[in-house]
């Protein structure tokens, strides 16, 4: 597997920021993944997926003929700290590109520092509207991931009244705006919204949120919560027995969150995404097989010969695909900001969940809907 070295004393790994470690034989990618905070639950999977992508990229000639070398940044820290470290790396000429899965507030902070100096592939579903120079957002957007799903719920289950529960930062709030706008003129609508700080650990706050949901009597809850916050909400939802009468739907939950929530907390829970481990296509199977090997090798899980990797979630798959986009978008040599600008106009690529088309800055994915079954997910429909 792609060589890794970890340190606990610094968010930067493998000589980041030291000019003397640079060579003309490597493409240095700032890999921005969460290791801490509410999104840290996704970090181990994203890291394994990134290493798998790097190995495959190098097997087919590398990035612009160069080996992939990661400079690791913990995206679980405050966005300003992450952006500061990116700025130091840029000042030292220590990175050639940026990629990874992280939250939108971190993306915005990084983009303000980078200002079109190197290409930046943001590998996560997001609220839409990013137009910073050189930033390619390769994940799903609300029109495909949320609006199409709400139409399915209206058609198949007659669900019309939705209550939004989200974390208090740009992605949930921006996604809510896009959702309300997209529902204009239909009989489906948002009856109320509630936003909690990232990393809310106080169960009383989740209990109060569930009480507010119950009073509003919605048909469903649109959950725009991150990682461990989604887990806490799911458990509170079950404690209040809301899953008996209110559906839940999330575009930002994956197999990891479902497993952590527990079978008793996933009743009537649905998730939409481009990727699910249970898609069953040849490309999906190949990715899952490679991911399993990478995860077990990197994280040392299970005895020799016995795999212990979890199913790869959408955060892992988008991390993998983002790096493949970065490697594939260069016409000649190393990827550049000019390449990023060209990609944003019109481009396409293959992902483990199928082809993706970039149209006028928005990546358009095939999006599927899955229903939780205990701690598993069953894909039940393609919604866009």
Every domain of the chain with CATH number 3.40.50.2300 lies at 19-140+281-352, 142-273+368-382
Give the C-alpha separation, 236 to 231, whole Å. Answer: 9
Q: Strands (DSSP E) along 180-314, which ranges?
A: 189-196, 220-224, 247-250, 269-273
- As a whole number of angstroms, the distance between CA 117 and CA 113 comes to 9
Residues 54, 26: Cα–Cα separation, whole Å: 12
Angstrom distances, CA of residue 20 to CA of 31, 62, 80, 92, 94: 20, 22, 27, 10, 9
User: Which residue pairs from 238-241 have beta carbons closer than 8 angstroms and sit at least 24 positions apart in sequence?
Assistant: 238/264, 238/265, 238/267, 239/207, 239/210, 240/207, 240/210, 240/211, 240/214
Give residue for tokens 């990629």: 99
The CATH topology of domain 142-273+368-382 is: Rossmann fold (3.40.50)
Which of 165, 98, 41, 108 has the alpha carbon at shortest distance from 325?
Answer: 98
Given a contact cutoff of 8 angstroms between Cβ atoms, the answer to whether 52 and 4 are in contact is no
pLDDT tens for 332-384 read: 789 999 999 999 999 999 999 999 999 889 999 999 999 999 999 999 999 98
Predicted local confidence at residue 9, as pLDDT: 30
Distance, in Å, from the CA atom of 345 to the CA atom of 359, rounded to the nearest integer, reads 6
Looking at residue 332, its pLDDT comes to 79
Q: What is the pLDDT of residue 10?
A: 34
Q: How far apart are CA 58 and CA 353, in angstroms?
A: 22
pLDDT of amino acid 294: 93
pLDDT score for 367: 95
Q: What is the pLDDT of residues 104-135, one digit of tens each?
A: 999 999 999 999 999 999 999 999 999 999 99
> What is the architecture of the domain spanning 19-140+281-352?
3-Layer(aba) Sandwich (3.40)
pLDDT of residue 301: 63
The two structure tokens encoding residue 267: 């009743």
What residue ranges of the chain have pLDDT lower than 50?
A: 1-22
Nearest residue to 68 (alpha-carbon basis) of 164, 4, 17: 4
């Amino acid at each position: 597997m792609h060589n890794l070295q970890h340190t606990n004393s610094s968010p930067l790994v493998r000589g980041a920021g030291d000019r003397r470690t640079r060579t003309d034989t490597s493409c240095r990618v700032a890999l921005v993944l969460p290791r801490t905070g509410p999104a840290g639950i996704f970090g181990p999977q994203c890291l394994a997926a990134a290493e798998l992508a790097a190995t495959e990229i190098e097997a087919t000639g590398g990035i612009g003929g160069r080996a992939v070398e990661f400079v690791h940044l913990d995206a679980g820290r405050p966005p300003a700290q992450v952006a500061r470290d990116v700025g130091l790396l840029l000042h030292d000429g220590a990175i050639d590109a940026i990629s990874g899965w992280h939250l939108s507030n971190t993306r915005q902070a990084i983009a303000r520092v980078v200002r079109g100096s190197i290409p930046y592939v943001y590998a996560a579903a997001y609220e839409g509207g990013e137009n910073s120079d050189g930033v390619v957002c390769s994940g799903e957007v609300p029109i495909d991931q949320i609006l199409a799903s709400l139409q399915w719920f209206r058609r198949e289950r007659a669900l019309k009244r939705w209550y939004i529960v989200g974390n208090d930062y740009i992605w949930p709030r921006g996604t809510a705006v896009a959702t309300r706008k997209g529902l204009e003129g239909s009989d489906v609508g948002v009856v109320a919204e509630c936003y909690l700080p990232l990393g809310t650990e106080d169960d009383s706050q989740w209990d109060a949120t569930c009480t507010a949901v119950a009073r509003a009597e919605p048909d469903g809850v649109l959950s725009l919560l991150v990682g461990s916050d989604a887990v806490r909400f799911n458990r509170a939802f079950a404690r209040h027995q809301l899953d008996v009468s209110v559906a839940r739907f999330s575009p930002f939950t994956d197999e990891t969150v479902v497993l952590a929530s527990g079978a008793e907390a996933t009743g009537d829970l649905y998730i939409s995404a481009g990727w699910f481990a249970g898609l069953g296509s040849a490309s999906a199977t190949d990715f899952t097989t490679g991911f399993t090997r990478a995860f077990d090798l990197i994280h040392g899980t299970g005895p020799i010969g016995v795999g212990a990797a979890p199913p790869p979630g959408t955060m892992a798959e988008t991390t993998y695909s983002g790096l493949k986009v970065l490697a594939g978008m260069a016409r000649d040599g190393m990827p550049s900001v000019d390449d990023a600008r060209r990609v944003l106009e019109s481009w396409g690529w293959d992902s483990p969940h199928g082809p993706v088309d970039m149209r006028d800055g928005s990546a358009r994915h095939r999006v599927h809907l899955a229903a939780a079954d205990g701690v598993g997910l069953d894909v039940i429909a393609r919604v866009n």
